[in-house]
Structure 1
Amino acid sequence: MIRMAKKDDLTAVLKLYKELRPADPELDSNLAKQAWQAMIEDPQTFLIVADIAGELASTCTLTINKSIANSARPFAMIEHVITAKKFRRQGLSRQVLEFAISTAWQQNCCKVMLLSGEKLTAAHALYESVGFQAGIEKGFVIKPTL
């Protein structure tokens, strides 16, 4: 079942994120709960999950960003697309992405953007299969120096 994440999904989503970013340091539980609560309550943030018999198998996050361009229509971004290893090759990433894209259109977004690691060609094929196109705009990223 594809659905929006609920408050009690935090632990399962963190487990998925650990697969996505295994080198990330462990998040303090109080900070995780506060950040999760803020995300769940934010009307501009949609955490989409694939729930297979009570186990979260896949997720992505959709954020809606307000704008005064494009007739004041918002734009959306999708991040943190992950499917647990044991559930891969079942179309779950596609389903959470399609749900996210549909949600963006329901929010009257003028476009949906997604960044992906440059060398993740299998993921790129998935993104293209749901309608994303490379070469329309070029993404740039800057990260803080630590």
Structure 2
Amino acid sequence: MSDLVVRPIDRADLSRLLALDVHLDPDDARCPPDVAVRMLDRLLRSEGSAVLVGAIGDALVTTCTLVVIPNLTRGGQPYALIEDVVTHADHRGARYGRAVLRAAVERAWEAGCYKVMLMTGSTKPSTLAFYAAAGFAQSKTGFQVRRTAVRRE
């Protein structure tokens, strides 16, 4: 894993990020490049938030999005949400996903967050074990409302 570099995304990485996202859900609708540019700019204007990528040379092999959310409880400490955790199928099991999650959690602590949350729709034991091995505890009950049907794994 010594050749993996975890860093914030650069706009020049965007097309490679969109290609990596296929490994999250091959059947999911793709984000058009012009929309991706607007969404990335919008996300990066949110203080503390980031799209982190794990790169080996020019190849993006893993990513996650960290969103820091202002908060009026907990003494005004923000909290963070991690979403869109993706590792290229050819690189799973190499601890690259764990490395990008560790970097996201470190950024959240630097932003003063009191907690970092993530949710998964997966019930696969391997996915749940991955998050547990990355230091996340399955300790809350999640609810959601969606405009579209929930995907099942």
TM > 0.5 fold call: yes
Q: Which residue of 1 aligns with 2:147?
A: 144
Distance 1:10 1:40 in 2: 13
Task: List per-residue Cα deviations over 1:15-36 (Å, max 9, x = no partner).
Answer: 1111212112233332222222
Whether the 8 Å contact between 1:57 and 1:83 is mirrored in structure 2 is yes
Alignment identity in percent?
A: 29
Does 2:102 align with 1:98? yes
Q: Which residue of 2 aligns with 1:114?
A: 118
Q: Which amino acid aligns with 1:123?
A: T
Q: Which residue of 2 aligns with 1:127?
A: 131
| Shift in Å, 1:55 | 0.6
Q: Secondary structure at the match of 2:137?
A: coil
Distance 1:55 1:47 in 2: 16
| Shift in Å, 1:43 | 2.5
Does 2:72 align with 1:68? yes
Whether the 8 Å contact between 1:50 and 1:59 is mirrored in structure 2 is yes
Runs of 5+ unmatched residues, structure 1: none
Does 2:23 align with 1:31? no
Q: Which amino acid aligns with 1:97?
A: L
Whether the 8 Å contact between 2:48 and 2:111 is mirrored in structure 1 is no
Distance 2:68 2:45 in 1: 14
Task: Give the alignment partner of residue 53 of structure 1, picking from 30, 53, 57.
Answer: 57
Whether the 8 Å contact between 1:76 and 1:104 is mirrored in structure 2 is yes
Give the total of aligned pairs: 145
TM-score by length of 2: 0.87
Q: Secondary structure at the match of 2:65?
A: strand
Distance 2:72 2:42 in 1: 25
Runs of 5+ unmatched residues, structure 2: none
C-alpha RMSD of the superposition: 1.6
Moved over 6 A (4+): none
Distance 2:110 2:50 in 1: 12
| Shift in Å, 1:39 | 2.4
Distance 1:41 1:127 in 2: 28
Whether the 8 Å contact between 2:48 and 2:67 is mirrored in structure 1 is yes
CA 1:67–1:84 in 2, change beyond 3 Å: closer, same or farther?
Answer: same
Q: Which residue of 2 aligns with 1:6?
A: 10
Q: Which amino acid aligns with 2:147?
A: P
